Structure 1
Amino acid sequence: MRLPPARLAVWTGAAVHEVAQVAAIGAATGVLAAAVTVKLARVILLAPMVALTAWARRRASPAGAGDVAAGRPAVLPLFVAAFLGLAALRGTGWVPGPVTAVVPQVTGVLTAAALFGLGTGIDVRKLARGGRVLLLGGFASTLVAGISLAGAMLFV
């Protein structure tokens, strides 16, 4: 099945777990900007869930309990705040043209370096012995891919 670019971008951003993997797929298929935008929208929507979970844990924990005493979790992760700030800055038009012209090359190199780093951390022997964990991961990935594909087909 061949998906139109808009559906492919939404499916990629919704189904793939890592931002770097979304960027790699988006770059390879020509839907980089849209796929990463969908993925980062998913990431931003995690902030309210993190805040609600932290609030619920604080209420359930007795005063002075370990993780409560250790400090408050951030309501908005720093990278999400940075993304929002940089997106707003870019939207103002204040970023000079030469800077925006070089950003794709820099992000390409940084993405390749990040993917190389992720790849070197894989132990193939442990992966081969995965058993039930590998089966569960495959099932979960298939489920997420199917649900997000259905959403992309229905709503895009």
Structure 2
Amino acid sequence: MSALLSALYNPRDVVAQAKILAPGAGFVMVLAMAAQFLSNHYGAPVMLMAILLGIPFHFLSEHENIGPGVGFAAKGMLRIGVALLGLRVSVDMVRQIGWGFVLVIGVCVAMTILASVLLSRFVGKDRAFGFLTGGSVAICGASAAMAISSILPDRDTAERDLSFTVISVTAFSTLAMIVYPIIAEGLGLDVHMTGLFLGGTIHDVAQVVGAGYSVSEETGDVATVVKLIRVTMLAPVVLIGALVMRRQVASSGKRPPLLPGFVAAFLVLAALNSFHLVPQMVTEVTSTLSRALLVTAVAAVGMKTSIAKLADVGGTAIAMIAVQTVALAAMVLVPLLYGLV
């Protein structure tokens, strides 16, 4: 990514740099398109398909011609995709749902992440793993996992942990898409409250949409708005995480930026969208582009993942994500059932 940005200052180097990145990036794009095809035609979660299609091609990520493009897709495309998510959120969404429930969501996100960091010590994992899994469960699944991983310090298990998180969270999100509407009906929640529950608990946007509109159109609309509010919280969480990481690695001399560039871009685009300065047609195009970039980045992460190393994560880590998922659902349900919002 840095090499590409440097090349932009010298136009004559752009073509040369593009030739280096093209083989790997092109291959990852093909995997992403295959994942999208499977999702469109068979209803499979696109993020899960992308990472599973990428894993068998791990050997290519170490090839001198393919590796650079795969690395660019895993980091550069990811950051661009996350930045463009800013055009999907606005202050109007908060007004539509109400500040009371937004506060509840904010507290649930914070508690989930903090509890995950603490819990990680008891399952033999480091705090970075707890932050990664907790943030992905609390905010927006695979997209959050990708964004958070980009600010974590370099670790031998970084790529393994990221792939494990994307696979596990997507699987739990798919299960929640099926089970949570049944739970909401069993608890007697009306269509509006069901939308609040689904949007406040299911991990990935696609599964929120699937679950919400399976109940009713109103439920789907409410659930989608609540989910996008959770997406908005990605920026402050990543910013706070970057600040903490800077303090922890201060002695190493290599500190992450105070405000990651893609987070700053996310905030700027969200502000522009809040003031209605971006045409609807542009937001629709960038939304599609953002999703395509994120799917491509996930496929690249899959290519960089070793199956042997992935198996080393252990069952306790799966149990940890299960606990996070159940705890988030409980924290959102309590104020809904007792009329606190």
Task: Tell me if both proteins adopt one fold, taking TM over 0.5 as the criterion.
Answer: yes
Amino acid of the residue matched to residue 147 of structure 1?
A
* Residue aligning to 2:265: 82
* Residue aligning to 2:317: 137
* Residue aligning to 1:55: 247
Pairing partner for 2:201 from 2, 7, 11: 11
Distance in 2 (alpha carbons) for counterparts of 1:28 and 1:112: 18
Moved more, 138-147 or 45-54: 45-54
Amino acid of the residue matched to residue 44 of structure 1?
P
Question: How far 1:134 sits from its partner (Å)?
Answer: 2.5
Question: What TM-score do the two structures reach when normalised by structure 1?
Answer: 0.65
Question: How far 1:135 sits from its partner (Å)?
Answer: 0.4
Please say if 1:44 is aligned against 2:224: no
Q: CA 1:122/1:49 → structure 2, altered by over 3 Å: closer, same or farther?
A: closer
Please say if 1:147 is aligned against 2:330: no
Distance in 2 (alpha carbons) for counterparts of 1:29 and 1:120: 30
Aligned length: 136
* Residue aligning to 1:25: 207
Distance in 2 (alpha carbons) for counterparts of 1:81 and 1:93: 19
Distance in 2 (alpha carbons) for counterparts of 1:122 and 1:56: 27
Question: How far 1:152 sits from its partner (Å)?
Answer: 1.2
Indicate if the aligned counterparts of 1:48 and 1:75 stay in contact, CA closer than 8 A: no
Cα RMSD of the aligned pairs, angstroms, is 3.0
Question: How far 1:97 sits from its partner (Å)?
Answer: 3.1
Distance in 2 (alpha carbons) for counterparts of 1:56 and 1:121: 27
Distance in 1 (alpha carbons) for counterparts of 2:211 and 2:279: 28
Question: How far 1:50 sits from its partner (Å)?
Answer: 3.1
Q: CA 1:106/1:96 → structure 2, altered by over 3 Å: closer, same or farther?
A: same
Distance in 2 (alpha carbons) for counterparts of 1:112 and 1:28: 18
Deviation string 1:5-43 (CA, Å, 9 cap, x unpaired) is: 21111112xxx4xxxxx2332343354443243144045
Distance in 1 (alpha carbons) for counterparts of 2:268 and 2:297: 23
Amino acid of the residue matched to residue 272 of structure 2?
L
Amino acid of the residue matched to residue 10 of structure 1?
G
Amino acid of the residue matched to residue 195 of structure 2?
P
Q: CA 1:137/1:27 → structure 2, altered by over 3 Å: closer, same or farther?
A: same
Correspondence 1:117-128 to 2 at 5 A:
117-119=300-302, 127=310
Deviation string 1:82-119 (CA, Å, 9 cap, x unpaired) is: 11110001112221232134344434444444444455
For the residue of structure 1 that corresponds to 2:321, the secondary structure is helix
* Residue aligning to 2:226: 34
In structure 2, list runs of 5 or more residues that go unmatched: 1-179, 185-193, 213-222, 337-341
More helix by share: 2
Pairing partner for 2:256 from 73, 78, 93: 73
Pairing partner for 1:95 from 278, 287, 290: 278
Distance in 1 (alpha carbons) for counterparts of 2:322 and 2:300: 25
* Residue aligning to 2:89: none
Deviation string 1:44-81 (CA, Å, 9 cap, x unpaired) is: 234224314423553xx4xxxxx22x3x3222222221
